[in-house]
Structures are given as structure tokens and as C-alpha cells.
A and B are shown apart, each in its own frame.
Chain A
């Protein structure tokens, strides 16, 4: 399968995010936001068909649902995944979620609560939401549309909502075995936690991006994976699936000016 000749950065990111779910088995794939959701859908329709997905509201589906207004398309439901069952699924460890936190630190800890002092935030965000429960129970990945040192902060994130690999945060006796951070996909690169002590390393650079650029946009020192490569763009087959799943081209609105995949 060869790479398509023309594709957008958003389309490359869909393919990159889909890799997070490769080989996960029968778990609930939750991609939060258009790109991760397309990525999860692509994963299910190509390399990992056994994934479970929802209609983003309350029901399980076997065919991933296209984004946005559905016209004549009527989703077919295979089961229920209301909020109570989402918690059962989370606590049972049968899920892999990809979220877009406002901050990530070198230990993979994430923040969706607020920026600044918790007692008087500079910018209130959503709250910790499900981050503490997700991160301590099942597979987690992250998607960042604008890779910068404001997101990848020098110290710890302002409010640790999602747990990570900071040993100081783990009191004796607390079970960390289920913490499993997988990929961080950004507009510049794909990173994983494959370095020593789960250190973040750059696994692949998007076409035309250098390691130095990524480092300059990151608030902490990054490692380079020994097998660092160039992120693969979509094949024609993958592009056709992405177009079918996103008939209104919502993916084109995710990154400013919808840049091409090869810069």
C-alpha cells in the first residue's frame, strides 16, 4: 500500500491517531474530537475491527458513524453504552481514550481543569472530568493540535487531573499497574512513552518537521526514539474511508488554514 500523492495534515493526523488503537483488541475506542474520532473509526475499519465504538451519546455501534449531519444515514445500534456503563467499562479497564488536554508534562500527567492557581484560576477549563479515572484504569493517548511549550509545560501541569509516571505522585501501596499511556499525536510529531522510566520520546516526525523544531516547541527535554522515522501519510484506501466518515470535511476546520500533509 503506497502513500497517496496529496493529503492534508489533518488526514495524516487521522492515520497517526488510528495507530494508537492498533491491536488493542475488544476495548471501547473513544476518540474525543474530530481527528481522534476519525482515527478510532479508521482503526476499526482497517487494522483493528474488533474495537467497540459508540454513537458519542448512549449506544454502541458496529459501523463507525460519520461526523456531523447525517442526511438519510440512520445509525444501527448493537448495544447500550450509557454513562453508567461507561464508568463500568472504565473501571474494568476495557477502554482506550484519546483526549485533548490543555497541558501535558514530561511525566504524561494531563490537565483539563484550569490554568493558573486552582483557588482563583486565570482560565477556568472544564474541570478534571474523567481524567483521574481514565488514566488510572485503562489505555490513554493524547491529541494536541497546536504543539507548543504552553501545552508541553516545563514543570508539572497546573492541575494534575490525569495521572502519569511521576514517582513523587505515587504513595506506597497505590496500584499503578493499570496506568498505560500510549501515544501523543500532535501537529508536529508522534511521541510515545518508550524512553527510560517511561520518558516521552519522539517516535516519528511529520514530513518536513525536524526534531529541533519539536524540541523548541516543547517545555521539557525530549528523547529521540532509536527507530525515529517519518510519519506515514494516508494511502488512497485510507483517504477514501476518511472522506466517507467525514462527508462535511470537518477535518479541514481542525488546523488553522488546513495545511497540506507534506510541508
Chain B
């Protein structure tokens, strides 16, 4: 069993029209190397489910998103993701906008192979109006409370970024938060994990940090070696976000052909060229975590 592959192998297994869940949170630990490989591909008509950041923004800019499912799309210090804003304001982007916790409930329902899970979240708001398919259920117990039956958000594929992976599909993700990567992976038919480091066997190499394993290897179809693969988002256990890069990216959204230029400058040449372009490993390693 060898699940090591490169990002192009992964893209070859994806199909236009798929529903893809992306781990990470806003500008934190996004599997951006995998997103960039999708941007280099012919894939289109994708449904993207995420705690959105530049993943949704870039895929919208490239015209690859049919539908976005999100609670927010933000780069934190740049509050509204610039290309997401552009796509929304142009009209025509199909969306399922829900509370961030509702997204979690829907993904958990999918991971548990349930049609829905009950929640109060969303009731009384326009989330109900703009998601006319959402239905309520009445508690069968004495309280008789009416609750939202949050439908399962079933994913074809989940993409997440981790510290370490091995040939078998085991992974470890360090840092203070999981960003619900494990919930995305469980909600999906299968998952691809980009990793800062890859090994033959994690039990041999990093037995001591097995607690950082977030999900079982039977959920993982591919491990992709992608050092600094979360850039320009942060990997809090390793490097901060690249706000200078995000600012440049955001500025491109206001320029004529801004996306085409960004794509040509940073993405089209492949990941080795990308890393070179952003200043190499030393620069990424030196990126500081934000202080609030």
C-alpha cells in the first residue's frame, strides 16, 4: 500500500461537478498547494464547501466554482475575501450561506451517514429564506420543540493540509486548533492530504506525536508532499500567514486582468516556481504568526 502521490495525480482523480470540502479556517492552514493544482487544471463547475478564505476566492476568480457553501469567506485582516466579494457582487454565483456552526452540523451529519441533524441554529433568520430546501422537524418528545433538520453536507472529496503523512495514509496535524479538518474528512467519500513532511511509516518516525493524528487512514486516498503548502495562509505550528502576499493578491482584484496576472506570476509555473517567487523556504519560515 502506497498512498503517496503528487498533486497532479490527485487532480486526475477529481471530476468537474464534484463537491469538494476544504479544511482550514479563513487564512489558516488551507491546503493551498492542492488548490493551486486545481487552478492549473481544466476542472470546473465545482461546489466548494469551506470555512472560506483564499481557497474559495481563487477558485471563484478562476471561474471554477458553480456553488459555494460557507459561513464566511474572509482573510481576517482583509475582512472580506476580495475575489469572493467580486464574484458575489457580479451575481450568478450559487451559494449556500449558513451559520458557521450549521456548516459543522451538516458536515457531522454527513460523517455519521445521517440525512440530517437537529439544531436551533438558523431558525428565525434569513438562512431559512435563502435556503428554501431547509426543513424543520418537531421533537417527538413531550417538549414538542420545532428544530431545523440541518441536511447532511455530503462531500465527494475533502482536501486538508497537515504536518506529516506516510505511505499508508496516516497523518499528524499539530497546532492549537484542528479547524474541523477531521469533520471535513469524515464528511467526504475520500480525502487527499497535503503534508509538510512525508515518511514511509509515521509509527517509526513520529510515534511520540501520534496524538496529533486527527482521522484514520481508511479515510485517506492520497498523501501529497507539499512543503509550505498552506502558503499564503498560515500553518500556526510552523509559519504565519503572508499578509504582504495577501495584500498584493487583494490589490489584483481591483485591477484589469488582475487575476490573469496573479495566475501567470505565481501559479502557472508550478509549485517549485511558486516557492521561489514568494521568497523561498527561509522567507516562509520567517513569517510571523499574527498577534491580536
Chain A residues in the interface with B (C-beta under 8 A):
55-59, 65, 67-70, 80, 82-84, 87, 90-91, 113-114, 118-133, 135-137, 159-163, 169-176, 178-179
Contact = CB atoms under 8 A, between A and B. Distances in A.
B100 interface: yes
A55 B146 contact: no
Given A129-B99, A132-B99, A173 B138 contact: yes
A163 B147 CA distance: 15
Contacts of B25: 83
Nearest to B121: A133
B99 A131 contact: yes
A128 B127 contact: yes
A122, A161, A170, A176: which has the most chain B beta carbons within 10 Å? A161
B124 A176 contact: yes
A170 B89 CA distance: 30
B104 interface: yes
Interface in B45-95: 52, 70-74, 79-80, 84-85, 88-92
B292 interface: yes
Contacts of A169: 124-125
Contacts of B72: 126-129
B89 A122 contact: yes
B192 interface: no
B25, B101, B102, B179: which has the most chain A beta carbons within 10 Å? B101
B278 interface: no
B74 A69 contact: no
23 contacts: A58-B177, A67-B292, A69-B291, A84-B180, A90-B101, A91-B121, A113-B126, A122-B89, A125-B80, A127-B71, A127-B73, A127-B74, A128-B72, A128-B125, A129-B99, A136-B123, A163-B125, A169-B125, A170-B124, A173-B138, A173-B145, A175-B145, A175-B146
Contact of A128 (B91, B98, B120, B292): B98
A150 to B, nearest CB: 18
Interface in B122-150: 122-127, 130, 136, 138, 144-147
Contacts of A83: 25, 177, 179-180
A121 B136 contact: no
A124 B84 contact: yes
A75 B130 CA distance: 42
Contact of B79 (A65, A120, A126): A126
B71 A124 contact: no
A87 B120 CA distance: 13
A40 B127 CA distance: 29
B118 to A, nearest CB: 12
B178 interface: yes
B157 to A, nearest CB: 22
Contacts of B73: 126-127
Contacts of A57: 176-177, 292
Contacts of B147: 174
B71 A129 contact: yes
B102 A133 contact: yes
B97 interface: yes
Contacts of B122: 132-133
A11 B146 CA distance: 44
Nearest to A120: B91
A67 B290 CA distance: 12
Contacts of A172: 146
A118 B104 contact: no
Nearest to B98: A128
Contacts of B120: 136-137, 174-175, 178
B291 to A, nearest CB: 6
Nearest to A157: B126
B146 A59 contact: no
Contact of A132 (B89, B127, B178): B127
Contacts of B179: 83
A205 B199 CA distance: 64
Contacts of A161: 125-127
Contacts of A136: 120-121, 123-124
Given A84-B178, A162-B125, A118 B102 contact: no
B133 to A, nearest CB: 16
A55, A137, A170, A173: which has the most chain B beta carbons within 10 Å? A173
A118 B130 contact: yes
A129 to B, nearest CB: 5
A23 B70 CA distance: 35
Given A57-B176, A124-B89, A136-B120, A174 B146 contact: yes
Task: Identify the 6 closest CB pairs spanning chains A and B, nearest first.
Answer: A173-B146, A120-B91, A58-B176, A56-B292, A163-B124, A127-B72
Contacts of B70: 127
B176 A59 contact: yes
Contacts of B85: 124
